[in-house]
Protein backbone atom coordinates (compact mmCIF):
# COMPACT_ATOMS: atom_id res chain seq x y z
CA UNK A 1 0.00 0.00 0.00
CA UNK A 2 1.10 3.54 -0.78
CA UNK A 3 1.27 4.49 2.91
CA UNK A 4 3.95 1.85 3.50
CA UNK A 5 6.33 2.45 0.59
CA UNK A 6 9.34 0.99 2.39
CA UNK A 7 7.97 -2.53 2.92
CA UNK A 8 10.72 -5.00 2.02
CA UNK A 9 13.49 -2.43 2.50
CA UNK A 10 16.02 -2.28 5.31
CA UNK A 11 17.30 0.76 7.20
CA UNK A 12 20.06 1.48 9.68
CA UNK A 13 19.82 4.52 11.95
CA UNK A 14 22.47 5.56 14.49
CA UNK A 15 21.42 7.85 17.30
CA UNK A 16 22.45 9.45 20.56
CA UNK A 17 25.86 10.14 22.04
CA UNK A 18 28.66 7.70 22.60
CA UNK A 19 30.25 7.17 26.00
CA UNK A 20 33.98 6.58 26.05
CA UNK A 21 35.14 5.22 29.39
CA UNK A 22 38.13 6.68 31.22
CA UNK A 23 37.94 4.28 34.15
CA UNK A 24 35.12 2.14 35.62
CA UNK A 25 33.20 5.19 36.86
CA UNK A 26 34.06 8.02 34.45
CA UNK A 27 33.85 8.74 30.77
CA UNK A 28 33.72 11.23 27.90
CA UNK A 29 30.34 11.88 26.36
CA UNK A 30 28.23 14.69 24.88
CA UNK A 31 24.78 16.20 25.16
CA UNK A 32 23.10 14.49 22.21
CA UNK A 33 19.55 13.52 23.26
CA UNK A 34 18.97 10.94 20.53
CA UNK A 35 15.55 12.48 19.81
CA UNK A 36 16.17 13.20 16.13
CA UNK A 37 17.51 9.74 15.33
CA UNK A 38 14.74 8.00 17.24
CA UNK A 39 12.14 10.08 15.37
CA UNK A 40 13.71 9.09 12.03
CA UNK A 41 13.79 5.41 12.99
CA UNK A 42 10.10 5.65 13.93
CA UNK A 43 9.17 7.42 10.68
CA UNK A 44 10.98 4.83 8.55
CA UNK A 45 9.37 1.94 10.48
CA UNK A 46 5.90 3.48 10.01
CA UNK A 47 6.56 3.45 6.27
CA UNK A 48 7.23 -0.26 6.44
CA UNK A 49 11.04 -0.42 6.60
CA UNK A 50 12.80 -3.04 8.68
CA UNK A 51 14.77 -0.70 10.95
CA UNK A 52 17.84 -1.35 13.11
CA UNK A 53 18.47 1.54 15.50
CA UNK A 54 22.00 1.53 16.89
CA UNK A 55 21.74 3.76 19.93
CA UNK A 56 24.17 5.25 22.39
CA UNK A 57 23.06 5.68 26.00
CA UNK A 58 19.79 7.66 26.05
CA UNK A 59 16.61 7.44 28.11
CA UNK A 60 14.15 7.02 25.25
CA UNK A 61 11.78 4.15 24.48
CA UNK A 62 12.48 2.17 21.34
CA UNK A 63 9.94 3.21 18.65
CA UNK A 64 7.33 0.55 17.80
CA UNK A 65 8.55 -2.06 15.38
CA UNK A 66 12.18 -0.95 15.54
CA UNK A 67 15.01 -3.31 16.49
CA UNK A 68 17.21 -1.36 18.90
CA UNK A 69 20.80 -2.26 19.70
CA UNK A 70 22.28 -0.35 22.65
CA UNK A 71 25.98 0.47 22.55
CA UNK A 72 28.29 2.69 24.58
CA UNK A 73 31.45 3.43 22.65
CA UNK A 74 32.15 4.52 19.08
CA UNK A 75 33.94 1.22 18.41
CA UNK A 76 30.86 -0.70 19.59
CA UNK A 77 28.65 1.56 17.45
CA UNK A 78 30.77 0.76 14.40
CA UNK A 79 30.64 -2.98 15.06
CA UNK A 80 26.87 -2.93 15.59
CA UNK A 81 26.34 -0.79 12.47
CA UNK A 82 28.42 -3.14 10.33
CA UNK A 83 26.46 -6.09 11.76
CA UNK A 84 23.18 -4.48 10.60
CA UNK A 85 24.28 -4.58 6.94
CA UNK A 86 23.14 -5.02 4.29
CA UNK A 87 20.66 -2.15 4.33
CA UNK A 88 19.08 -0.03 1.61
CA UNK A 89 19.48 3.21 3.52
CA UNK A 90 21.66 4.34 6.43
CA UNK A 91 20.89 7.51 8.37
CA UNK A 92 23.69 8.47 10.71
CA UNK A 93 22.46 10.89 13.35
CA UNK A 94 24.65 9.78 16.24
CA UNK A 95 26.96 12.31 17.88
CA UNK A 96 29.99 10.04 17.88
CA UNK A 97 32.87 11.09 20.12
CA UNK A 98 35.79 12.18 17.99
CA UNK A 99 38.27 10.75 20.48
CA UNK A 100 38.43 8.07 23.15
CA UNK A 101 40.91 7.69 25.99
CA UNK A 102 43.91 5.75 24.81
CA UNK A 103 43.70 3.42 27.76
CA UNK A 104 40.82 2.58 30.07
CA UNK A 105 42.06 2.33 33.65
CA UNK A 106 40.98 -0.95 35.23
CA UNK A 107 40.45 0.69 38.63
CA UNK A 108 39.06 4.10 39.57
CA UNK A 109 41.77 6.70 39.05
CA UNK A 110 42.66 8.21 42.44
CA UNK A 111 43.24 11.84 43.30
CA UNK A 112 46.98 12.17 43.72
CA UNK A 113 49.17 14.83 45.32
CA UNK A 114 51.04 15.14 42.03
CA UNK A 115 47.98 16.82 40.47
CA UNK A 116 45.45 15.72 37.88
CA UNK A 117 46.28 12.90 35.47
CA UNK A 118 46.62 13.72 31.81
CA UNK A 119 44.33 11.96 29.39
CA UNK A 120 45.89 10.66 26.20
CA UNK A 121 43.28 10.43 23.44
CA UNK A 122 43.00 8.34 20.27
CA UNK A 123 40.88 9.20 17.27
CA UNK A 124 37.71 7.19 16.80
CA UNK A 125 36.84 5.74 13.39
CA UNK A 126 34.37 7.69 11.26
CA UNK A 127 31.42 5.30 11.06
CA UNK A 128 29.63 7.32 8.38
CA UNK A 129 32.67 7.53 6.12
CA UNK A 130 33.28 3.81 6.56
CA UNK A 131 29.73 2.92 5.52
CA UNK A 132 29.79 5.33 2.61
CA UNK A 133 33.00 3.89 1.17
CA UNK A 134 32.42 2.12 -2.11
CA UNK A 135 31.98 -1.62 -1.90
CA UNK A 136 29.43 -4.38 -2.30
CA UNK A 137 27.87 -3.60 1.08
CA UNK A 138 27.48 0.12 0.56
CA UNK A 139 23.85 1.11 1.23
CA UNK A 140 22.05 2.58 -1.81
CA UNK A 141 21.53 5.78 0.14
CA UNK A 142 23.82 7.08 2.90
CA UNK A 143 22.63 10.12 4.84
CA UNK A 144 24.80 12.06 7.29
CA UNK A 145 24.07 14.94 9.61
CA UNK A 146 26.12 18.07 10.08
CA UNK A 147 25.80 20.50 12.95
CA UNK A 148 27.19 23.85 11.89
CA UNK A 149 27.25 27.29 13.40
CA UNK A 150 28.60 29.18 10.39
CA UNK A 151 28.84 28.81 6.61
CA UNK A 152 26.20 26.09 6.95
CA UNK A 153 25.91 25.14 3.29
CA UNK A 154 29.58 25.37 2.34
CA UNK A 155 30.74 23.38 5.35
CA UNK A 156 28.04 20.77 4.93
CA UNK A 157 28.79 20.39 1.23
CA UNK A 158 32.47 19.89 2.02
CA UNK A 159 31.45 17.24 4.56
CA UNK A 160 29.29 15.50 1.94
CA UNK A 161 32.25 14.99 -0.36
CA UNK A 162 34.81 14.32 2.39
CA UNK A 163 32.68 11.55 3.85
CA UNK A 164 31.40 10.19 0.55
CA UNK A 165 27.77 10.17 1.63
CA UNK A 166 24.83 10.93 -0.67
CA UNK A 167 22.90 13.43 1.41
CA UNK A 168 23.68 15.64 4.37
CA UNK A 169 21.08 17.12 6.66
CA UNK A 170 22.71 20.33 7.83
CA UNK A 171 21.46 21.67 11.13
CA UNK A 172 21.89 25.27 12.09
CA UNK A 173 23.02 24.91 15.69
CA UNK A 174 23.62 28.59 16.27
CA UNK A 175 20.11 28.33 17.74
CA UNK A 176 19.78 25.64 20.40
CA UNK A 177 19.20 22.18 19.00
CA UNK A 178 20.68 19.67 21.39
CA UNK A 179 17.85 18.31 23.52
CA UNK A 180 15.40 20.81 22.07
CA UNK A 181 12.29 19.85 20.14
CA UNK A 182 12.82 22.09 17.13
CA UNK A 183 15.31 21.95 14.30
CA UNK A 184 15.99 24.14 11.25
CA UNK A 185 17.77 22.22 8.55
CA UNK A 186 18.90 22.14 4.94
CA UNK A 187 18.91 18.91 2.95
CA UNK A 188 22.01 18.87 0.77
CA UNK A 189 22.32 16.46 -2.15
CA UNK A 190 24.51 16.28 -5.23
CA UNK A 191 21.68 17.97 -7.13
CA UNK A 192 21.02 20.89 -4.84
CA UNK A 193 19.69 22.19 -1.59
CA UNK A 194 16.30 22.23 0.00
CA UNK A 195 15.84 24.30 3.10
CA UNK A 196 13.47 23.21 5.80
CA UNK A 197 12.40 26.01 8.12
CA UNK A 198 12.37 25.37 11.86
CA UNK A 199 10.04 22.49 12.65
CA UNK A 200 9.79 19.80 15.28
CA UNK A 201 12.23 16.91 15.17
CA UNK A 202 9.23 14.66 14.48
CA UNK A 203 8.26 16.78 11.47
CA UNK A 204 11.83 16.83 10.20
CA UNK A 205 11.87 13.04 10.51
CA UNK A 206 8.64 12.77 8.48
CA UNK A 207 10.01 15.03 5.74
CA UNK A 208 13.26 13.09 5.55
CA UNK A 209 11.49 9.71 5.56
CA UNK A 210 9.28 10.89 2.69
CA UNK A 211 12.35 11.97 0.71
CA UNK A 212 14.04 8.64 1.42
CA UNK A 213 10.97 6.68 0.35
CA UNK A 214 10.72 8.68 -2.88
CA UNK A 215 14.40 8.13 -3.62
CA UNK A 216 14.35 4.39 -2.95
CA UNK A 217 11.09 3.61 -4.72
CA UNK A 218 10.99 6.02 -7.69
CA UNK A 219 13.46 5.37 -10.49
CA UNK A 220 15.39 8.54 -11.24
CA UNK A 221 14.09 10.42 -8.17
CA UNK A 222 16.52 12.93 -6.64
Where along the sequence are the contacts to ligand C5P (CB under 6 A)?
14, 74, 92-94, 96, 124, 126-128, 144-146
Q: Is 201 annotated as a binding residue?
A: no
CB of 111 to ligand C5P, least distance (A): 32
For the question of residue 155 being annotated catalytic, the response is: no
Q: Distance (Å, rounded) from C-alpha 201 to C-alpha 184?
A: 9
CB of 81 to ligand C5P, least distance (A): 8
- Residue 160 or 184: the one with the smaller Cβ distance to ligand C5P is 160
CB of 114 to ligand C5P, least distance (A): 33
- Residue 55 or 93: the one with the smaller Cβ distance to ligand C5P is 93
What are the Cα distances from residue 17, in Å, to 1, 35, 42, 71, 133? 35, 11, 18, 10, 23
- Residue 143 or 184: the one with the smaller Cβ distance to ligand C5P is 143
Catalytic residue among 30, 124, 155, 171: 30
Q: Distance (Å, rounded) from C-alpha 7 to C-alpha 31?
A: 34
Closest CA to 29 of 124, 162, 165, 142: 124
Q: Distance (Å, rounded) from C-alpha 12 to C-alpha 4?
A: 17
Q: Is 98 annotated as a binding residue?
A: yes
CB of 147 to ligand C5P, least distance (A): 6
Q: Is 22 annotated as a binding residue?
A: no
Q: Distance (Å, rounded) from C-alpha 183 to C-alpha 104?
A: 36
Q: Is 78 annotated as a binding residue?
A: no
Q: Is 127 annotated as a binding residue?
A: yes
- Residue 116 or 176: the one with the smaller Cβ distance to ligand C5P is 176
CB of 75 to ligand C5P, least distance (A): 10
- Residue 6 or 128: the one with the smaller Cβ distance to ligand C5P is 128
For residue 100, the surrounding DSSP H or E stretch is strand 99-101
What burial letters (b/e) apply to 170-199, b meaning 16+ CB within 10 Å? bbbbeeebeeeeebbbbbbbeeeeeebeeb
* Contacts for 221 with CB less than 8 Å, ≥ 6 apart: 214, 215
Could you give the angle at the alpha carbon of 77 between the alpha carbons of 140 and 147, nearest 5°? Answer: 70
* Contacts for 107 with CB less than 8 Å, ≥ 6 apart: 23, 24
Binding positions are 98, 108, 125-128, 145, 159, 163
Which residues have a catalytic role annotated?
30
Binding positions for CTP are 98, 108, 125-128, 145, 159, 163
Amino acid sequence: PAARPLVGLRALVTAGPTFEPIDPVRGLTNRSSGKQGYAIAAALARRGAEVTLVSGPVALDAPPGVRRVFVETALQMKTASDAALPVDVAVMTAAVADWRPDQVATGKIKKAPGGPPSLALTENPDILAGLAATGPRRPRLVVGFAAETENLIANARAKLSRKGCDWIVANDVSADVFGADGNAATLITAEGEESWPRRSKAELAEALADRIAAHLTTPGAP
